[in-house]
């Protein structure tokens, strides 16, 4: 493998590039991004070796698509159109059903592997790239049976060298589960931030009073709306279901407060503390 093309040189694409460059500096990494300043920045940060365009993809051994999920859904068919029969194309989107549906009948469907590395931060752009971001993180692979075996094996070699743990799931199950553990978390952070900003018009008061608990809880509200709005749109049905359950739990908590049922609140929180055992070892 000599030529890797990264479409979208931001946090995920840039972090993958960092790991690949460390593991095999002989590989040439080409960057494609609609924002030319991102490409210039990626070159200066040594994330990519040179700029490229979609017309260059026929030379690719591997194409990594790390752009917003709505753009992936639109562009993935043409990306597959442009690659050779031996090229591997992977995406990193937080939704899978719509993306897999977009290429289900494509003549080169066998060249595509649908993946979701569950790793990231609240930051974006080339400067956000982190070496070792994927170490001990889970990478979900969907519809593996539709990808050519030798290309799947090529991807596994890369993922394992990067230290990722692999899980297999169908796209619908992925989208349903990830709505609970990722998408709802981001909505909660955004809405907490909104509530505090609207209540505390004086920003100085917010920063003077905010402690580590608030900072850690609202951290995800710094995430890019350009990335997250399409995710919520593509996974609308599952996100609404999680919101219904979340709102129901919030309403019940409020009812306990109004009725002075603090024993019930205590019991709920004590039961919820079991999450420490479930999440033990997860950063």
pLDDT digits (tens, 9 = 90+) for 158-171: 999 999 999 999 99
Please give the average per-residue pLDDT across 15-31, as a whole number: 93
Tell me the C-alpha distance between 225 and 228, whole Å.
Answer: 5
Query: Is the pLDDT assigned to residue 206 strictly greater than 60?
Result: yes
Of 68, 82, 67, residue with least CA distance to 14:
67
Helix 225-234 crosses helix 236-258 at what angle (to 10 degrees)?
100
Sign of the C-alpha dihedral computed for residues 220, 223, 225 and 230 taken in this order: negative
How confident is the prediction for the chain on average, in pLDDT?
A: 94
Per-domain residue ranges of the chain: 3-169, 174-278
- Dump the DSSP string for 224-259: -HHHHHHHHHHTHHHHHHHHHHHHHHHHHHHHHHHT
CA distances 158 to 2, 88, 175, Å, are 13, 12, 24
Domains 3-169 and 174-278 share a fold: no
Q: How confident is the model at residue 237 (pLDDT cuts 50, 70, 90)?
A: very high
How many degrees, rounded to 5, is the angle at CA 179 between CA 270 and CA 171?
135
Burial of 54 (0-12, 13-18, 19+ CB in 10 A): middle
Does pTM surpass 0.75?
yes
Query: Of all helices (H) and strands (E), which one includes residue 193?
Result: helix 184-199
Predicted confidence at residue 215, as pLDDT, reads: 83
Identify the bridge partners of residue 4 per DSSP, sorted by sequence position. Answer: 29, 62
Cβ atoms within 10 Å, residue 172: 13
pLDDT digits (tens, 9 = 90+) for 121-161: 889 999 999 999 999 999 999 999 999 999 999 999 999 99
Tell me the C-alpha distance between 151 and 144, whole Å.
Answer: 10
Q: Which fold has domain 174-278?
A: 6-phosphogluconate dehydrogenase C-terminal fold (1.10.3660)
CA distances 44 to 27, 37, 90, 242, Å, are 17, 11, 25, 42
Which CATH number does 3-169 carry?
A: 3.40.50.720
Tell me the C-alpha distance between 30 and 7, whole Å.
Answer: 9
Tell me the C-alpha distance between 88 and 86, whole Å.
Answer: 7
Query: Is the pLDDT assigned to residue 102 strictly greater than 70?
Result: yes
């Amino acid at each position: 493998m000599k030529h890797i093309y990264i479409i979208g040189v931001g946090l995920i694409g840039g972090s993958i590039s960092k790991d690949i460059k460390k593991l095999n500096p002989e590989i040439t990494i080409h960057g494609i991004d609609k924002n030319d300043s991102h490409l210039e920045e990626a070159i200066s940060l040594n994330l990519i070796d040179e700029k490229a365009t979609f017309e260059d993809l026929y030379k690719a051994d591997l194409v990594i698509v790390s752009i917003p999920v709505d753009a992936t859904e639109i562009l993935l068919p043409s990306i597959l159109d442009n690659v050779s029969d031996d090229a591997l194309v992977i995406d990193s989107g937080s939704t899978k059903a719509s993306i897999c549906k977009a290429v289900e009948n494509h003549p080169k469907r066998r060249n595509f592997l649908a993946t979701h590395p569950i790793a990231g931060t609240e930051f974006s752009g080339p400067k956000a790239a982190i070496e070792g971001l994927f170490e001990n993180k889970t990478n979900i692979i969907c519809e593996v049976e539709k990808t050519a075996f030798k290309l799947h094996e090529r991807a596994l070699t890369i993922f394992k060298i990067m230290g990722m743990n692999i899980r297999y799931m169908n796209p619908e199950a992925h989208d349903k589960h990830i709505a609970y553990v990722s998408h709802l978390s981001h909505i909660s952070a955004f809405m907490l931030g909104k509530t505090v900003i609207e209540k505390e018009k004086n920003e100085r008061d917010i920063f003077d009073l905010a402690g580590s608990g608030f900072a850690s809880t609202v951290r995800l509200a710094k995430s890019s709306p350009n990335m997250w709005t399409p995710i919520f749109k593509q996974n609308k049905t599952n996100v609404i279901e999680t919101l219904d359950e979340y709102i129901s739990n919030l309403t019940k908590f409020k009812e306990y407060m109004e009725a002075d049922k603090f024993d019930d609140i205590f019991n709920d929180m004590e039961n919820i503390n079991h999450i420490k055992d479930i999440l033990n070892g997860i950063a």
